Amino acid sequence: MIVPKPVMQESRPGTFVLDAGTSLAADPALSEVAAWLRGELAPVTGGELLPGPGTESGAIRLVLGELPPEAYRLSVGERVEIVAGGPAGAFYGAQTFRQLLPAAAYRKAPGGPLAVPGTYVEDAPRFAWRGCVLDVARHFLTKHEVLRFIDLMALHKLNVLHLHLTDDQGWRVEIRRYPRLTEVGAWRKESQTGWNGAMDGRPHGGYYTQDDLREVVAYAARRQITVVPEIDLPGHTQAAIAAYPELGNLDTPLEVRTTWGVGRNVLNVEDSTIAFFQNVLEEVLEIFPSPYVVLGGDECPKDQWKESPAAQRRIAELGLRDEEELQGWFMRQFGDFLAERGRRMVGWDEVLEGGPPPGAIIASWRGELGAVAAARRGHDVVNCPNTSVYFDYRQGPGEDEPVPFGTVLTLEDVYAFEPIPAELRGEPAARHVLGAQCGVWTELIDSGRRIDYMAFPRLAAFAETVWSSEDRDLPGFLRRLEEHLRRLDAIGVEYRRAEGPLPWQTRPGVPGRPESPERWQAKLDAWTSRLRALS
């Protein structure tokens, strides 16, 4: 009962028994995976797995073979052998082996000898980019909570953690050159309850030191996950402007934003502001070795630029048509900056409207038309439509759902998501779809427990859409999910039950009204019209 479903699985003779006498051997190139597997199995066996040649009965052996880097073959009989194309494939094979064990193998206590019937698995992912956005800017998560989420991503064979570190409501990464970004920008005096409800009156904040983030990056790398940082600009920047008012367009000081939605306060387009954020990125690049950096570009109102003499002079000097092209020029200053340092910019699909930098990757979130337009223009794409994979959206229509926001997005809806948009299928441009990512946006998710409820089990359904074949089998997935939920129970994940929320998970009253279906549809129609013109 493996999640995500492998390419091929069949029964074989024999039975493997995991116990205190089990040994583990690995090719030198796979030693780090072997160390991880020892650590995961030690609580079950009551001690470290013994070293051995790997050929004896009761042994586990990790071997390099002639396979793609993320592919593996798993053979289980009297012994276990994982043949992989590289450390990633070996890690995924080890995750599959753990799923063949009873759910008790996920508990941090001895479970006695555990038996696995003979099995053979051949497997490899369908997409190279299998990601999840974790928004720590709106509601801060402790380092421990981030590391736990990485483990849960790894269990599901996801390989990109898009860490959303800055926004209007908080700046979460230490920048040593500009200490006020965290001294001021990491803290807000209160938060809005619900999407448009009353204020809670409670200060909120926190940030990660550079050493914290290096630890997160290393921890994720051992689990074959790349951490991709997001530093938002030119919109979603009120926390930075509160810390350094000279970055903004107004003469009046700002506070870190306490409400949700799209804010009108954006960066100015002065040379000094460009230099400021290039300095920020220099430190970010030292922390994150990822080849990708997300620079936002989304939801940037142009009102302040229209009213700014400096912005209007910049438009005239550059011979630009309007503020959309001004944003395109602004983003290219940073896209080129990253390219000169061997990195690639990722931007949300709004960057298409002003002209993205060459080589930029487009994250298509306003439906799928951004993915279509970007791919046809030759840009690589990460497909992440809000209507299919945004896990801040409620999971059912009932009044007891804790987050009355967005449209209803059920487990079945997520499982039906196809990363390659229908308009691209059969076109050469489809090759530009690198994969997809889901989103855990935390305006209305204020704790790790709420993340458990909102992300799971929908994240398991998403993982199958990006790993497994495009031939979906919902009844089969739901059968496998029953066993997978027992694993999540053993880990301690407080997921949403099929019958609905548990009493503590229900919504006490209405903390803010959700958008009406009519307003929601109007927003989708407006996005569709703009993106259709681009494609």
Q: What pLDDT, in 10s, does the model give residues 325-376?
A: 999 999 999 999 999 999 999 999 999 999 999 999 999 999 999 999 999 9
Report the DSSP pairing between strands 226-233 and 344-348.
Answer: unpaired
How far, in whole angstroms, is CA 148 from its chain's centroid?
14
Per-residue confidence band for 502, with pLDDT thresholds at 50, 70 and 90 = confident
Per-residue confidence band for 508, with pLDDT thresholds at 50, 70 and 90 = low
Per-residue confidence band for 509, with pLDDT thresholds at 50, 70 and 90 = low
Is the confidence at residue 69, as pLDDT, over 90?
yes
Residue closest to 169 by CA, chosen among 205, 202, 133, 194: 205
Q: What is the mean pLDDT of residues 311-320?
A: 98
CA atoms within 13 A on the CB side of 105: 25
Q: What is the DSSP letter of 199?
A: B
The pLDDT assigned to 62 comes to 97
Q: How far is CA 77 from CA 21, 157, 513, in A?
A: 16, 24, 56
What rounded mean pLDDT belongs to the chain? 94
The pLDDT assigned to 56 comes to 79
The pLDDT assigned to 527 comes to 67
Q: How buried is 528 (Cβ within 10 angstroms: 0-12 exposed, 13-18 middle, 19+ buried)?
A: middle
**Which long-range CB contacts under 8 A does 495-501 form with residues at least 24 apart?**
495/452, 495/453, 495/455, 495/456, 495/457, 496/395, 496/453, 496/454, 496/456, 496/457, 498/411, 500/396, 500/398, 500/400, 501/400, 501/401, 501/402, 501/453
CA torsion sign, 371 to 375 to 377 to 379? Answer: positive
Q: Of 61-65, 322-326, 398-402, 460-464, where does mean pLDDT reach its minimum?
A: 398-402
Q: Which pair of tokens denotes residue 75?
A: 């053979």
Residue found by looking up tokens 């051949």 in the block: 122
> Alpha-carbon distance 272 to 114, whole Å?
62
Residues recognised as catalytic: 167, 236, 299
> Alpha-carbon distance 172 to 203, whole Å?
15
- pLDDT tens for each residue of 12-54: 999 999 998 899 999 999 999 999 999 999 988 888 888 877 6
Residue closest to 296 by CA, chosen among 229, 368, 232: 232
> Alpha-carbon distance 236 to 58, whole Å?
55
Q: What is the chain's length?
A: 535
The pLDDT assigned to 302 comes to 97
Q: Which pair of tokens denotes residue 432?
A: 């530009």
Is the confidence at residue 305, as pLDDT, over 70?
yes
Is the confidence at residue 524, as pLDDT, over 90?
no
The pLDDT assigned to 512 comes to 52
CA–CA–CA angle 397, 402, 405 (5° rounding): 65
The pLDDT assigned to 55 comes to 73
Q: What is the dihedral of CA 356, 357, 362, 365, to 10 degrees?
A: -40
Q: What is the mean pLDDT of residues 225-246?
A: 98
Is the confidence at residue 293, as pLDDT, over 70?
yes
Q: Of 17-31, 345-359, 428-442, 500-514, where does mean pLDDT reach its minimum?
A: 500-514
> Alpha-carbon distance 502 to 489, whole Å?
14
The pLDDT assigned to 52 comes to 78
Cβ–Cβ < 8 Å for 331, 347: yes
Is the confidence at residue 125, as pLDDT, over 80?
yes
The pLDDT assigned to 279 comes to 98
Is the confidence at residue 5, as pLDDT, over 60?
yes
Is the confidence at residue 403, as pLDDT, over 80?
no
% residues pLDDT > 70 (the chain): 96
Is the confidence at residue 515, as pLDDT, over 70?
no
Q: Residue 1 is which amino acid?
A: M
CA–CA–CA angle 338, 343, 349 (5° rounding): 80
Q: How far is CA 410 from CA 417, 454, 456, 532, in A?
A: 11, 11, 11, 27
Q: What is the mean pLDDT of residues 135-151?
A: 98
Give SS3 for 94.
helix
Residue closest to 97 by CA, chosen among 111, 84, 112: 84
The pLDDT assigned to 430 comes to 97
The pLDDT assigned to 399 comes to 81
User: What is the b/e burial string over 183-212, where b = at least 16 CB atoms within 10 angstroms of the residue's CB?
Assistant: ebbbbbeebbbbbebeeeeeebbebbeeeb
Give SS3 for 2.
coil
CA atoms within 13 A on the CB side of 502: 10
DSSP secondary structure of 235-281: SS-HHHHHH-GGGSS-SS--PPP-S-S--S------HHHHHHHHHHH
Q: What is the mean pLDDT of residues 251-262?
A: 95
Q: What is the mean pLDDT of residues 88-114?
A: 93
The pLDDT assigned to 197 comes to 85
Q: What is the mean pLDDT of residues 516-525?
A: 66
Q: Of 193-207, 327-341, 397-411, where does mean pLDDT reach its minimum?
A: 397-411
